[in-house]
Amino acid sequence: MKTILVPTDFSEAANNAAEYAIKLAKEIKAKVVLLHVYHSSVPPIEAPILVPSYAELQKEKERLLHKKSSQLKKNTHVEISYKAKLGMAIEEILEEEKSADMIIMGMRKVGKLSEYILGSITTAILGKTTIPVLIVPENAKFKIPKKIAFACDYNPGTNYKTLESLNELITAFKSKLFVVNVKNKQEMVSVEEAGAGLRLEHQISDINHIYNYTENENLVEGIDNFVKGKKADMLAVIPHRHNLLERLFHKSISKTIAFHTDIPLFALPDNHKSMAAYLLS
């Protein structure tokens, strides 16, 4: 059965991601698993307080998950289950993903209304997961992704087979794909990049797509402007050692413009399990 894993810490960002996951699951007839990972803090020996037992903690976390799942089930027919686990968040999420086809996580806003930052857990998951991760900004609301932008750098080492997941998403929603490559005025297309482009075309030849090139000295600003100009509903990327994600969501001391978005980010791992049965069965 098709399964979406939604880690939650009950924050506003996590709650919004869960709402998004329920609406997506309804469209593709998937089920949702809410996962809450917690740890038992040990107070100083001299602290005169009672420490809840594991059983008490587990019961309380399950109560919160039950309440959240009941709220999410209203007016939907989506199957929702939940798990509360004692442990380390990253390890437990990666363990649970073995039974999932996609992870949906929230991304919190900071500072300005539309400025976001990736948390350390999300960043770590992106570096280790074998399945796609859909990252939902705190202000993003679900809508059918009719326009999907794919930021591509034509890296010769990119494994474009990971785009099978994106292809299937596009097929399921009859979306249009806008492939965008941002270069500065001095950059020329190399032979290696041309070869990567051919491999990319082979992978997406069966879907509705169009190639776009745009000039901008700032990669983040270039992608940002393109997404807004096309009014894209989703941005897809294949992170290479987090470089792109870090540039998109973290301001540097050189005053790189942080990515401003209210659309989800579909992060595709280089090594993933097929989603063919996930979206199209």
pLDDT for 44 beyond 60? no
Q: Give percent of the chain above pLDDT 70.
A: 75
Looking at the fold, whether 159 and 77 belong to one and the same domain comes out as no
**Is residue 186 domain-resident?**
yes
Most confident of 1-5, 32-36, 232-236: 32-36
pLDDT for 187 beyond 70? no
Looking at the fold, whether 202 and 76 belong to one and the same domain comes out as no
pLDDT for 255 beyond 50? no
Report residue 260 as tokens.
């401003």
Looking at the fold, whether 163 and 241 belong to one and the same domain comes out as yes
Most confident of 38-42, 81-85, 118-122, 126-130: 81-85
Q: What is the pLDDT of residues 6-16, one digit of tens each?
A: 999 999 999 99
Distance CA 222, CA 180 (A): 9
Boundary (domain end) residue, out of 81, 107, 133: 107
**Is residue 134 domain-resident?**
no
Looking at the fold, whether 148 and 102 belong to one and the same domain comes out as no
Identify the residue with better confidence: 19 or 152: 19
Q: What is the pLDDT of residue 219?
A: 80
Looking at the fold, whether 94 and 212 belong to one and the same domain comes out as no
Looking at the fold, whether 280 and 149 belong to one and the same domain comes out as yes
Q: What is the pLDDT of residues 137-159, one digit of tens each?
A: 888 999 999 999 998 877 766 76
Boundary (domain end) residue, out of 107, 124, 151: 107
Looking at the fold, whether 8 and 96 belong to one and the same domain comes out as yes
Q: What is the pLDDT of residues 205-241, one digit of tens each?
A: 888 999 998 888 888 788 888 999 999 999 998 875 4
Side-chain-side CA neighbours of residue 16 (13 Å): 19
**Is residue 13 domain-resident?**
yes
**Is residue 128 domain-resident?**
no
Please give the torsion angle defined by the CA atoms of residues 32, 33, 34 and 38, in that order, rounded to the nearest 10 degrees.
Answer: -160
pLDDT for 253 beyond 50? no
Looking only at the bridges linking them, the beta strands covering 3-7 and 31-38 are: parallel
Distance CA 163, CA 213 (A): 20
Distance CA 237, CA 235 (A): 7
Distance CA 135, CA 263 (A): 9
Nearest of 230, 216, 229, 207 to residue 187 by alpha carbon: 216
Q: What is the mean pLDDT of the chain?
A: 81
Provide the domain count of the chain. 2
**Is residue 95 domain-resident?**
yes
Looking at the fold, whether 179 and 100 belong to one and the same domain comes out as no
Region 172-179 average pLDDT:
94
Residue type, 10: F
**Is residue 116 domain-resident?**
no
Which residues are paired to 182 by β-bridges? 214
User: What phi and psi values does residue 99 have, to the nearest 5 degrees?
Assistant: -110, 15
Boundary (domain end) residue, out of 87, 107, 127: 107
Q: Where are the alpha helices (DSSP H) in 129-218?
A: 164-173, 191-204
pTM for the full predicted model: 0.83
Looking at the fold, whether 86 and 161 belong to one and the same domain comes out as no
User: Is the dihedral angle over the CA atoms 93, 94, 95, 96 positive or is it negative?
Assistant: positive
Q: Which domain holds residue 87?
A: 1-107
**Is residue 45 domain-resident?**
yes
Q: What is the pLDDT of residue 95?
A: 96
Report residue 47 as tokens.
């602290």
Q: Which contacts (CB < 8 Å, 24+ apart) does range 82-86 have?
A: 82/33, 82/34, 82/35, 82/36, 83/33, 83/34, 83/35, 83/36, 84/36, 84/37, 84/38, 84/58, 85/35, 85/36, 85/37, 85/38, 86/37, 86/38, 86/39, 86/40, 86/54, 86/57, 86/58
**Is residue 136 domain-resident?**
no
Distance CA 265, CA 242 (A): 13
Nearest of 246, 270, 276, 277 to residue 131 by alpha carbon: 270
Distances (CA, A) of 88 to 39, 69, 124, 251: 7, 22, 12, 28
Q: What is the pLDDT of residues 46-68, one digit of tens each?
A: 555 566 788 899 999 999 999 99
Identify the CATH number of the domain in which residue 48 sits. Answer: 3.40.50.620
Q: How confident is the model at residue 23 (pLDDT cuts 50, 70, 90)?
A: very high
Looking at the fold, whether 231 and 186 belong to one and the same domain comes out as yes
Looking at the fold, whether 45 and 93 belong to one and the same domain comes out as yes
